[in-house]
Amino acid sequence: MIHLLQQTKTGQRQDMVTLSLYIPTLANYSEGAIADVQAAINEHLAENYGIQTKLVYIEIGNFEKNINLAMTTDELDVTCYFTGNGQLPNYVNNGQLLDITDYFNNASDELKNTFTQTEIDASSLNGRMYGLVRKYQYGGGEVVVMNKDIVEEMGIDPASITDMDSLGEVLYKVHEAHPEIHAMVPQSNADMTWGKPWVEGIGLTSFAFTDNIDSTEICSVFESDSYREFCSYTNKWYQDGLIMSDAISNTMEGSDMVTSGAAFCCLHNADIDPLDRLYPNTVTSGWLIKPRAIPTDVGNLQYGISVNSAHPDEAFTLLSALYTDAKLHTMLSYGLEGEHYVINGDGRADYPEGMTAENEPYGGFAATATYPNYLLNPVKASAVVDDYKKSVEDWDAQVKVSKCFGYVFDSSEYGDFITAYKNIEEKYLKAIQTGSVALDDVLPTIKSELEGIGYYDVIAKMQSELDAFLAK
């Protein structure tokens, strides 16, 4: 659904430029709540910036289609856009996003200091800047989530589990002591772990990888040494009965099984949020994989200006304010204080009495993930951190970034190839990761199928481009 309010109902000043702002929704918004928030925002914008805005909320599943259409006209000024699947080169090559390099270079120090060089690189292509990344923690590592009762019963030291060998030692002991439960289960459904933490994605693609964060040699996930090593462990553990026998057809969340005691542990991606506070009756291991960021982790959601905006100067003023003006951003994301949220006695933001995520009229408080800079907002009562900005800065400081960061492969002409590659992954990946199938048994067939879709020709082209990129 698209929420686009008529100008006559929103109190917009006719003597000021009105800029549309497109935002994807992850929750419900009523027309009345949007109108009230927009009116308050416009009062603030008029007083501080001499501009107005028109909020356009679009359900996230239809968002890309709608902004692609809107960017062919002058209806769209400032918009969110996604880049996690390599869309940035498409937007730039199609002439849809405005080059904001000069605007940014001449902007306030407050705005420029908001972003790290890594974040600036994530919104740039060929040395030119096209947007501002969402301020958010980026990257992640891999840990083990374990049942707290069994950990305490058996005297297991969670911090001592830092690799697959130390994990294996614990799994065999737990299996011997508790044969009635699964020693290990997938993280979710048949996914042994979300994503591919043992390899590093390259070029903002879904099909090319390096063996680790320091490597610059592109390969398939199936032929990565680190991934093959991971799968050799899971295959042995599966054969020895440590991993649930029907893992490939599992439909449950691993964390639920661990919490309830039906399983001892599962692998889990980890970031700024302490997992033991998210999942009751669990403890977390040391890092199996230390925090790192691949290109799709940084700036996978950004805000920019349509090249067809009739008011690019004013649009950049709005874009800048979204990242530096705490009052503006809090109104935009949380709504109106006293109506859509309140500040409780601890100084944290919470729902007004009687309001929940299910009945709130302005969904931003429940789902702030798509807004530009949540670090500007008051900390929520439900947050597991005390200071958003400090927690994210501390987290990002420990995240290691791929050597290949900044390289982008233009995959716009490879639609059929990407579909064919995805089919191969779907055919083999989950069975291999859960240990149900030995990678070495099917690798010759997989390589033959990759050869058949021209995979090695594509990554050879990518390798050549990457080498040239790194040589600069």
Structure confidence by residue, pLDDT tens digits, 448-465: 999 999 999 999 999 999
Distant-in-sequence, close-in-space partners of 46: CB < 8 Å, separation ≥ 6:
13, 16, 52
Q: Tokens 């799968």 sit at which residue?
A: 231
The token pair at 123 is: 């919104």
What distances in angstroms separate CA 324 from CA 19, 282, 320, 391, one per listed residue?
A: 18, 38, 7, 18
Tell me how far apart the alpha carbons of residues 18 and 279 are, in angstroms, rounded to a whole number: 45
User: Across the strands, what pairs with 184?
Assistant: 243, 265
Q: Given this model, what pLDDT does residue 5 score?
A: 46
Residue 244 has pLDDT above 70, yes or no: yes
Give per-residue pLDDT as tens, 129-166: 999 999 988 888 999 999 999 999 999 999 999 999 99
Contact 23/58 with Cβ under 8 angstroms? yes
Tell me how far apart the alpha carbons of residues 265 and 410 are, in angstroms, rounded to a whole number: 40
What distances in angstroms separate CA 93 from CA 87, 186, 241, 245, 307, one per listed residue?
A: 10, 40, 52, 48, 12
For residue 321, name the pLDDT band (cuts at 50, 70, 90): very high
Tell me how far apart the alpha carbons of residues 341 and 67 are, in angstroms, rounded to a whole number: 29
Q: Given this model, what pLDDT does residue 3 score?
A: 56
For residue 6, name the pLDDT band (cuts at 50, 70, 90): very low
For residue 295, name the pLDDT band (cuts at 50, 70, 90): low
Averaged pLDDT, 88-110: 95
What is the residue-averaged pLDDT of the chain? 92
**How would you classify residue 23: left for phi > 0, otherwise alpha for psi between -120 and 50, otherwise beta?**
beta
What distances in angstroms separate CA 169 from CA 164, 176, 433, 458, one per listed residue?
A: 9, 11, 19, 41
Residue 403 has pLDDT above 90, yes or no: no
Residue 413 has pLDDT above 70, yes or no: yes
User: Which pTM value belongs to this model?
Assistant: 0.76
User: Across the strands, what pairs with 102?
Assistant: none
